[in-house]
Structure 1
Amino acid sequence: MSSPRSNVRWLTLGLIITLIVINYIDRSAVSYTVEPLTEAFGITKSQYGLISSAFSIGYMVFAFLAGPLVDRYGARRTLLVGVALWSVVTALTPVAGSFAGLFLARIVLGAGEGPGFPAATRTVSRWLPQSERGTALAMIGGVAVAGSLLIGGPVVTQLIAGLGWRGMFWFLAALGVLWFAAAWALLKNTPEEHPKVSEAERAHIAAGQREEERTSSGRIEWRPVLTNRNLWIIAIGYFAWGFIFWGFMYWLPDYLSTEYDLGVTDVGMFAIAPWAAGIVGALIGGVLTDRVFQRTGSPRTRLTIMGVALLLSGAALIPIFTAPSLTVSVVFISLGVGIGFVTGGIWWVAAIDAAPSQPGLAAGFADAAFASSGIVAPSAMGYIVTTTDSFSSGFVLMTGLAVIGALALLVLPRRTGPADQPPSRVPDPESTRVS
């Protein structure tokens, strides 16, 4: 009788999910300290806008550059360095002292958080079989993201009320230090490195991996990634979804207050709905992609699911600019965001499928496309609102980009080749065990 299968892979997944939640709360915390920051450091609202953009610049650059580091040195080392860096910067933010100091701090914060998703993607590719990755990455890229946005506001505002705005930053820095300590003790690059992983769990993981994932040497090869057709298609789709995501993340409160004359409390209440819908959508997407893969064995089905979800997400926004009202806006924005979050974790699964031997580099490539939309969307929406005195054209642009991204995912992917083949199978003793 073989030993029972351990479940250390889920502990590892839990560490990564916790990291992403802390990550998103950290990056959004500054938006709740606009008044004290501008007063304490003598900066203007215009300069504050530049400070906000600085994060996305640092994040975009280092998300891409972190990919090779993750593939070369492993997720554990890269994440530990990144968390240490962003925790220090978070602690220093309240004493940055000037516009230049804050601008630099936000760039470095983006650099520290940049390795998060590339490292998470490589961790999932080394710790989970393909049949479990959809749900896992939906938890990381969907539920953790939407959930952190859902709870981030109340958490940060309560910390400010209890500890002051400087104390809030120091508390968040301490959370990063606690995660560092836990990861130092518990996080490993592969199941083979973890002493608590049973032989049955190792075999279960290996049974759902491609050969490239089991034998990858960590050598960085740029050309196969930069010329990977499916990876470019993923980047186009992820930019389109990112434009919707960042557009609502930065502009939804202002839209609700401006268009419908809502107070701060009402805005906060109505703004919760899209992110709550995002959690539901992410869970549906994760379960759906795993079940479809288990039935078909084809990674290409994931691109189809993303394409359909992105198309429906864009279509859901149409009533907002054709028959606007508060009820219509809240309901259909929530639908659009919720359906869009169906894709939340599948981008990372698709990135692994496209370049299984270099998942960190592939994820960094995709994440850079998403981060670039975080630079473009807020400024584009701001320009549209300023020049037209309306949000409608911004929603039209969101819908148009969603259609373009969806068509790319549905029509253009490469139809043959290694990325479309199921993994070579390794016997899983759990399925053949005789007691």
Structure 2
Amino acid sequence: MGGRAIAVLIMLFLFQTLNFFDKLVFGLSAVPMMKELGLSPKEFGLVGSSFFLLFSLSGMAVGMFVVGRFPVKWLLLIMAGVWSATQIPIFFSGSIAVLVICRIILGAGEGPGLPTALHACYNWFPADRRSVPSAVVLQGISVGLLAGGPILTYVIVNYGWRTGFLFCGLLGLAWMLGWFFVGGEGPYSAAHAPEAAVAKDKALPARVLWGDPTVIGVIIMSTASYWIVGMSATWLPPYLQLGLGYKQVDVGWIISGIYLFQSPLLLGGSWLTQALQRKGYSLRACLGHASGYALLAAGCALLLSIVTSGPLQLACIAIAFAAPSLTTIFGPVALGAIAPAVQRGRLIVVIYSGNAASALVSNALTGWIVGEAGSNVPLGYAHAMTFTAGVLIVGAISAFALIYPERTIARFARAAQEPASPSAVAAVST
């Protein structure tokens, strides 16, 4: 790796770190924000869910039609500019309308962030050396959540919740300045012949591809997983503070502990399933069962967090909010194993951008459930987390019942050998 490639990788790592600073600041500001703006839990939930209104649509659109067709340096600069432009006005305005509009635009700007960052990373590393750089970019998420807890809590507690948004906006401007001088297309931005050759694989009709049980299982499982992943930045801080009684100054450190636990969990879980595959275990066991156990453990842990206390309660919360992220590894790996190469990218992009829509519902519904409890706020949070645990368990059941990669591979192989009818050709998803 050359020095320029390493510099680009560091900037992309910081790009993802900044991404999750922007997400976390809203949840950490929840209690003082609701008090100052007079927001009920229902209204706060709606404001939180507004972030995801365009998140999925923009992620799918940019990932499918923009990334790879325009210079990635300027795409990332525009995204970071949108992030800063939607954080700084909140510092100067007391309007709820401004807050909602900024959150909607921020969601649209952050939706395509990860796939664009990975594309930029691939431009600087050859095909056989992209796994580790990709992992470095993804670790920016964990570091953003880990460092964001105490840093943003300190800013909010000492300088006010509005300053937290200003701080994130200024960080975005600083990143833009660095990326302007460091960023570029890289020596591997052009398609390589070995990679282009996979486009010759035969595409499957859409009804065969999207109607397969494994694909449906991944859709349900990933949607259930993102239900809690998407609401964690908004509702985890107030759940800890108002639902479980932790002090605001402690909440940031608890959240950091959760994401400190998440990082080795993701690395260890992916290493273990890969090692089991090498030893001959089936894809169903390593990907389907593993996803089911991750969501089942998260659902049960979330239920236990309501009735326990002390270190055991914190351990349950860590499992509940960290374990579902394992499915973001197992799901795409399963899809990559079963899908024809020409449809693999679109299948993963559509599913893992579209599932973010569940966060739109989970944020609003959590606020509604908490608000229905009236003055008994802890009871409202207990009901909301019980419902969330049910969603996770449904996702676990779908993984156990539907994800059979070996069967799907055989089914797709048979479908690829069948002569294509005119109607099937028209239905092919390219």
TM-score range, shorter chain: 0.7 to 0.9
1:29 aligns to 2:9 (yes or no): no
The answer for the alignment partner of 2:416 in structure 1 is none
Of 331, 334, 337, which aligns to 2:315? 331
Of 207, 210, 229, which aligns to 1:245? 229
Change (3 A) 1:162 1:308: same
Change (3 A) 1:181 1:393: closer
The answer to whether the 8 Å contact 1:70/1:360 transfers is no
The answer to whether the 8 Å contact 1:137/1:286 transfers is no
Change (3 A) 1:51 1:26: same
Deviation at 1:116, TM superposition (A): 0.4
Alignment of 1:30-429 (within 5 A): 30-34=26-30, 37=33, 46-67=42-63, 68-128=65-125, 133-141=130-138, 143-160=139-156, 164-192=160-188, 210-212=195-197, 234-256=218-240, 260-265=244-249, 267-285=251-269, 287=271, 305-316=286-297, 317-318=299-300, 321=303, 324-326=307-309, 327-345=311-329, 354=339, 362=347, 364-382=349-367, 386=372, 390=382, 391-405=385-399, 407-411=401-405, 414-415=408-409
Query: What does the per-residue CA deviation read over 1:311-345, in whole Å, with 9 as the maximum and x for residues that have no partner?
Result: 22223242653794224433234234444333445
Q: What SS does the aligned partner of 2:146 have?
A: helix
Change (3 A) 1:347 1:175: farther
TM-score, normalised with respect to structure 2: 0.73
The answer for the alignment partner of 1:12 in structure 2 is 8
TM-score, normalised with respect to structure 1: 0.72
The answer to whether the 8 Å contact 1:57/1:375 transfers is yes
Q: What SS does the aligned partner of 2:23 have?
A: helix
The answer to whether the 8 Å contact 1:246/1:374 transfers is yes
Change (3 A) 1:140 1:235: farther
Deviation at 1:172, TM superposition (A): 1.9
Which amino acid in the other structure matches residue 158 of structure 1? Y
Which amino acid in the other structure matches residue 94 of structure 1? F
Which amino acid in the other structure matches residue 307 of structure 1? G
Q: What SS does the aligned partner of 1:210 have?
A: helix
The answer to whether the 8 Å contact 2:46/2:363 transfers is no
Counterpart-to-counterpart distance in 1, 2:406 and 2:60:
24
Deviation at 1:410, TM superposition (A): 4.0
Counterpart-to-counterpart distance in 2, 1:335 and 1:349:
22
275-284 vs 90-99, greater mean Cα deviation: 90-99
Counterpart-to-counterpart distance in 2, 1:61 and 1:377:
17
Deviation at 1:52, TM superposition (A): 1.4
Change (3 A) 1:392 1:307: same
Change (3 A) 1:183 1:254: closer
Deviation at 1:291, TM superposition (A): 6.4
Counterpart-to-counterpart distance in 2, 1:291 and 1:74:
38
Change (3 A) 1:330 1:372: same
Deviation at 1:397, TM superposition (A): 2.8
Change (3 A) 1:362 1:400: closer
Over aligned residues, Cα RMSD in angstroms? 4.3
Structure 2 unaligned blocks of 5 or more: 374-378, 414-430
Change (3 A) 1:384 1:91: closer
The answer for the alignment partner of 2:428 in structure 1 is none
